[in-house]
Chain A
Amino acid sequence: MNNTAFSIKQMRAFYGAKEVIKGVDISIMPNTVTALIGPSGCGKSTFIRSLNRINDLIPSFRISGDIMYRQKDIYDKETDVVELRRRVGMVFQKPNPFPKSIYENIAYGLRIHGLNIKDTIDEIVESSLKKAALWDEVKDNLKQNALTLSGGQQQRLCIARTLATQPEVILFDEPCSALDPISTAKIEELIHHLKQNYTIVIVTHNMQQAARVSDYSGFFLLGELIEVGRTHEIFTAPKDKRTEEYITGRFG
């Protein structure tokens, strides 16, 4: 089990006194897509946001258990959170480009990590936009403000921005929930390609999406991980009755 990306044992998470994750064990394999499904408020977003410690921004948030990334406890006092987040990137539910130009949105991540050579930045901006399948649409307007792009384009820009800093893992927190079906299809295709080079964890409400893009699926319910396994097994032969009921649409 030493080749896991994330290895998590007995994760418990709280907002104030409210326990939102109640002892979750899961291993996430490198270069795979793991989808987390489940009804709203079941803790899957909290779970994914704990993997890059972005939940630290919420003052009342507390967490316990072993949350290991590449055999290192990411909640250890010695952990360099900035370094962790550089290696574990994230794309959010609502597209959140900076109110700067398209170019600057991508250059930002490079600059804060000390890269100041213009030619190199130019190259990475282009290659990241190409990887995110956005280059052809914006290559003539790189100076344009990112907020003028459509929602789907903004989300792909956010993905490009994340790719530019070369993380090892990309966390997607319901990346398509605010997008139309065409944009959604583009992003799903993108995730499919990214799998070769990145470890991907995606939270989604859309079960077809989970089935389409993921290798592994985990089903969350009320803060517990009910079942996790290969996606086709989860969707064709779930072991737990509750998983089956959720997948077939009988509740949730």
Chain B
Amino acid sequence: MFKKKEFQKLKEYLIEKLLFLFSLVSILATVGIVAVLSFETFAFFNEVSLLKFFTDTQWTPLFVKKHFGILPLLCGTLLTTLIAMLIALPVGLISAVYLSEYSSEKAKNIIKPIMEILAAIPTVVYGYFALLFVTPLLRKCIPGMSGFNSLSSGFVMGIMIIPLISSLSEDAFHAVPMGLREAGYALGSNRLQVSLRIVFPAAFSGVLAACVLAVSRAVGETMIVAIAAGQQPRLTLNPLVPVETITAYIVQVSLGDTPHGSLEYRTIFACGMFLFVMTYFLNIVSYKLRRRFQQVYE
């Protein structure tokens, strides 16, 4: 009486397999991308030694006298990321503390959606905002500043990342049990003491995860730096001169007329692989931190 009909069994089997196939698509895509990256990267390092790649201080693959040192690109990437984090971290964290510990429900319902609009702006718009608005403004205050520079692109990137940090950190604050806040208040703490000495430390690994994810986002950000940071690989920490990030270089070569299969062409895969390893590592760190944080309060 309770025996399933053969047809029904078959139908369920087919449905399951079909769903599985769909989920396979993304796995296959990932495997494919990693395979192509690896293949081309391998081909690149057949001609250029790893040692050169990581120690040479010049990056000039498109010039006659070729140098393949990733350091200038890495430096540009880290410099814009650092500037972005210097903006995004304080602003994002302070707004998260405000939203989670201070604001009324009403204020929160107004501020949060507005912040999320920041995250919805296309990065190309941010790029032109940096180039055509922020840079001219900054040049009025800093006379020697170049038209392309890491300061304004980093600054605008920071603004773009604020919602990421504030919303992930706020989630982390929100996950801190109410009982801890009550304990703090019951001992005679004021709101600032509860926020900074109880909630913040208790949510620390969650906040750290948010920051790592934000760094990963900044490292991988392309459009803003391609437009506003200039395209000159330069080993410098000066925020006022043009630099090139790894991502911006990839854009530059992809858009140019570099012949397929050439060494110049392969540089973008080596750069892409390097970038991928970097952001993948950061994402794993972030994921692990969040996991640890969740376990504490289960």
Residues of A within 8 A of B (CB): 52, 54, 57, 59, 82-83, 85-86, 89-90, 92, 94, 96-100, 108-109, 112-113, 147, 158, 161-162, 165
Interface status of B105 (Cβ within 8 A of chain A): yes
Distance A90 CA – B181 CA, assembled complex (angstroms):
13
Shortest distance in angstroms between A172's beta carbon and chain B's nearest beta carbon?
12
Shortest distance in angstroms between B188's beta carbon and chain A's nearest beta carbon?
3
B188 touches A83 (CB 8 A): yes
Query: Which A residues touch B198, using CB under 8 A?
Result: 98, 108
Total A-B contacts with CB atoms under 8 angstroms apart: 65
A85 touches B186 (CB 8 A): yes
Assuming the A-B contacts A59-B104, A59-B105, A112-B197, are A98 and B186 also in contact, with contact meaning beta carbons closer than 8 angstroms in the complex?
A: no
Query: Which B residues touch A90, using CB under 8 A?
Result: 182, 186
Interface centre among A54, A86, A96, A165 (most CB of B within 10 A): A96
Assuming the A-B contacts A96-B177, A112-B197, are A89 and B182 also in contact, with contact meaning beta carbons closer than 8 angstroms in the complex?
A: no
- Of B181, B202, B296, the contact of A57 (CB 8 Å cutoff): B181
Assuming the A-B contacts A59-B104, A59-B105, A96-B177, are A112 and B189 also in contact, with contact meaning beta carbons closer than 8 angstroms in the complex?
A: yes
- Of A83, A92, A109, A162, the contact of B182 (CB 8 Å cutoff): A92
Query: Which B residues touch A97, using CB under 8 A?
Result: 183
List, sorted by A's number, 24 A–B pairs whose CB atoms are closer than 8 Å. Answer: A54-B185, A59-B105, A82-B190, A83-B188, A85-B186, A86-B187, A89-B186, A92-B183, A96-B177, A96-B179, A96-B180, A96-B182, A96-B183, A97-B183, A98-B183, A98-B198, A99-B201, A100-B201, A108-B184, A108-B198, A112-B197, A161-B187, A162-B186, A165-B188
Shortest distance in angstroms between A2's beta carbon and chain B's nearest beta carbon?
26
How does the 8 Å CB contact mask read for B144-178 relative to A, with 1 for contact and 0 for none? 00000000000000000000000000000000011
Query: Which A residues touch B189, using CB under 8 A?
Result: 82, 112
Distance A83 CA – B189 CA, assembled complex (angstroms):
9
A98 touches B180 (CB 8 A): yes
Interface status of B258 (Cβ within 8 A of chain A): no
Distance A16 CA – B54 CA, assembled complex (angstroms):
64
Distance A85 CA – B193 CA, assembled complex (angstroms):
14
Assuming the A-B contacts A57-B185, A90-B186, are A108 and B202 also in contact, with contact meaning beta carbons closer than 8 angstroms in the complex?
A: no
B residues contacting the other copy or chain, number (CB 8 A): 22
B296 touches A99 (CB 8 A): yes
Known: A94-B179, A109-B188. 15 other contacts (CB 8 A): A82-B188, A82-B190, A83-B188, A92-B182, A92-B186, A96-B177, A96-B179, A96-B180, A108-B184, A108-B187, A108-B198, A112-B188, A113-B188, A158-B183, A162-B187
Shortest distance in angstroms between A76's beta carbon and chain B's nearest beta carbon?
18
- Of B184, B186, B193, the contact of A52 (CB 8 Å cutoff): B186
Distance A90 CA – B182 CA, assembled complex (angstroms):
9
CB-nearest residue of chain A to B204: A99
A165 touches B180 (CB 8 A): no
Query: Which B residues touch A94, using CB under 8 A?
Result: 179
Distance A109 CA – B198 CA, assembled complex (angstroms):
11
Query: Which B residues touch A109, using CB under 8 A?
Result: 187-188
Query: Which B residues touch A86, using CB under 8 A?
Result: 187-188
CB-nearest residue of chain B to A84: B188
Query: Which B residues touch A98, using CB under 8 A?
Result: 180, 183-184, 198, 202
Query: Which A residues touch B188, using CB under 8 A?
Result: 82-83, 85-86, 109, 112-113, 165
B175-232 at interface with A (beta carbon < 8 Å) = 177-190, 193, 197-198, 201-202
Shortest distance in angstroms between A209's beta carbon and chain B's nearest beta carbon?
21
B186 touches A112 (CB 8 A): no
Distance A99 CA – B179 CA, assembled complex (angstroms):
12
Assuming the A-B contacts A59-B104, A98-B202, A99-B296, are A54 and B197 also in contact, with contact meaning beta carbons closer than 8 angstroms in the complex?
A: no
Distance A134 CA – B120 CA, assembled complex (angstroms):
54
Distance A193 CA – B85 CA, assembled complex (angstroms):
54
Query: Which A residues touch B186, using CB under 8 A?
Result: 52, 54, 85, 89-90, 92, 162
Query: Which B residues touch A165, using CB under 8 A?
Result: 187-188
Query: Which B residues touch A162, using CB under 8 A?
Result: 186-187
- Of B104, B105, B179, B202, the contact of A92 (CB 8 Å cutoff): B179
Shortest distance in angstroms between A80's beta carbon and chain B's nearest beta carbon?
10
Distance A146 CA – B48 CA, assembled complex (angstroms):
55
Query: Which A residues touch B184, using CB under 8 A?
Result: 98, 108
Query: Which A residues touch B296, using CB under 8 A?
Result: 99, 147
Distance A112 CA – B189 CA, assembled complex (angstroms):
7
Query: Which B residues touch A96, using CB under 8 A?
Result: 177, 179-180, 182-183
Shortest distance in angstroms between A82's beta carbon and chain B's nearest beta carbon?
5
Distance A94 CA – B180 CA, assembled complex (angstroms):
10
Shortest distance in angstroms between B293's beta carbon and chain A's nearest beta carbon?
11
Shortest distance in angstroms between B123's beta carbon and chain A's nearest beta carbon?
38
Query: Which A residues touch B181, using CB under 8 A?
Result: 57
Distance A89 CA – B187 CA, assembled complex (angstroms):
6
